[in-house]
Amino acid sequence: MFFADILETEGLGNRSYLAGGVRAAVVVDPPRDVDRLIAAAARRGVRIVAVAETHVHNDYVTGGLELARLTGARYLVPAGASVAYERIAVADGDVEAIEEGLVLRAVATPGHTPHHTSYVLEHDERAVAAFTGGSLLIGSVGRPDLVEPRLTEELARAQHASAHRLAAELGDEVAVMPTHGFGSFCSSAQAGGERSTIGAEKASNPALVQDVETFVGELLAGLDDVPAYYAHMGPANAAGPVPVDLTAPGLADAGEIARRLAAGEWVVDLRSRMAFSQGHVAGSVNFEVEGQLATYLAWMIPWGKPVTLLAESAEDISRAQRELARVGIDRPAAAAVGSPADWTTDAVPLSSFPRATFADLAAVRGRGEDVVVLDVRREGERVGGWIRGSVHIPVHQVHQRLHEVPAGTVWVHCAGGMRAAIAASVLDAAGRDVVAVDDGYPAAAAAGLALVTPAQH
């Protein structure tokens, strides 16, 4: 008897795994907030005896060291990874016993990083699942450009070889259980599907159906922007993350919020983009707790800058704090719960801006009004086409390139509305007149807006 449970970290597009048998289990690639895994093991009635890392992660702070300390588990880290703490250095072919009849076998799969290691779960000497980390993903592979630019092509070729090794050594029925690929920026392309097997990947994964030259060429051509906070994750994980502190931050009143804004700190409103646009503290920025909060806030905020969180409930503050801790933003400077009326002073009044659709933008242009259209999608999205005359600044660069936004009322759009709302809040905080387009990009063509395609450019 064996099991392999999935633990989703949806905001970062990652998965961790709790796998084991009747009495014992291993955790693969745990997130920072390890209390979830301890609770999952308790529900299963198993003891965590091993914690395994597939690689030193670039996209989140690991909870592996802390989980091993709390549970007394053996901490398995690839031997090639340079880390500053005691661990069991795992080499290709090493086997870790979980319980009788259940073992974890290490398979060197360089590519995502030079030291990347996958783990095959074997039950009664038969492979049943492969924890592939950032190697073989569902329909894709982990990106090879996060370690060192000079190594990118070499690692891309290694990804191809590693994928073929897994496909050759494992049966078609073996479950593929990757860490990345569910919206994670560690994936080289958008992965599809919730579950897969070696056989399914052999039939469709580019790494397994393309020759190495085609695969490497397309992989390198498709790489997109890397979140800025990734630069801090690898060193934090190599040094050994400190235990996470999820106790509630101190509460701030309106006066303190005003002082923190005046000091140039970031005050982040976690409410929905609809509520924020209708009324918010002037100077605050909007990152919805329901959106990809950790990714985009950590991408944009100057590293180490104090952040104050505003929300309608203490539950939203707690949820945001947990998400931010996963990417190394450990302690909010302060927090406030309630509504904008509770957070404003005479010195810092309410602000607001309108929301609109692409049909509204078409109507404005149809009347001949001279407005600025700001496209905040990523470069990889814009290459497929854009609104004629639009200015392009990806959302994660808007706060650094405000001077490049032309004068006038700025209509901000992305692909669906969330990133447009972030960018609109940044522009509003800087004193610009903005309209947030809260609409799906396909509606731009339906509204009759003139679009440019790559062939026309």
Q: Are residues 204 and 178 in the same domain?
A: yes
Last residue of a domain, one of 239, 272, 293: 239
Q: Are residues 326 and 441 in the same domain?
A: no
Q: Are residues 293 and 168 in the same domain?
A: no
Q: Is residue 248 in some structural domain?
A: no
Cα end-to-end distance, the chain, whole Å: 59
Q: Is residue 167 in some structural domain?
A: yes
Q: Is residue 457 in some structural domain?
A: no
- Whether 333 has a pLDDT exceeding 60, the answer reads yes
- Whether 457 has a pLDDT exceeding 60, the answer reads no
pLDDT digits (tens, 9 = 90+) for 374-416: 999 999 899 999 999 999 999 999 999 999 999 999 999 999 9
pLDDT digits (tens, 9 = 90+) for 67-105: 999 999 999 999 999 999 999 999 999 999 999 999 999
Cβ 32 vs Cβ 7: under 8 Å: no
Q: Are residues 69 and 171 in the same domain?
A: yes
* 258/260 Cα distance (integer angstroms): 5
Q: Are residues 73 and 184 in the same domain?
A: yes
Last residue of a domain, one of 289, 324, 351: 351
CATH code for the domain in which residue 416 is found:
3.40.250.10
At residue 193, the pLDDT reads: 63
Q: Are residues 343 and 205 in the same domain?
A: no
What residue numbers bound the domain in which 138 lies? 3-239
Q: Are residues 20 and 115 in the same domain?
A: yes
CATH code for the domain in which residue 55 is found:
3.60.15.10
* 105/371 Cα distance (integer angstroms): 60
* Residue 112 bridge partners (DSSP): none
> Confidence class of residue 33 from pLDDT cuts 50, 70 and 90?
very high
This prediction has a pTM of 0.93
At residue 188, the pLDDT reads: 63
pLDDT digits (tens, 9 = 90+) for 223-267: 988 999 999 999 999 999 999 999 999 999 999 999 999 999 999
Tokens of 173: 């029925």
Q: What percent of the chain has pLDDT over 90?
A: 91
Cβ 335 vs Cβ 225: under 8 Å: no
- Whether 187 has a pLDDT exceeding 80, the answer reads no
At residue 439, the pLDDT reads: 97
Closest residue by Cα to residue 60 from 24, 32, 97: 32
Beta strands at 285-286 and 280-281: parallel, antiparallel or unpaired: unpaired
Cβ 254 vs Cβ 343: under 8 Å: yes
pLDDT digits (tens, 9 = 90+) for 126-184: 999 999 999 999 999 999 999 999 999 999 999 999 999 999 999 999 999 999 987 77
Domain count, the chain: 3
Instruction: Tell me the mean pLDDT in the region 13-20.
Output: 96
At residue 182, the pLDDT reads: 79
Last residue of a domain, one of 212, 239, 266: 239
* 345/347 Cα distance (integer angstroms): 5
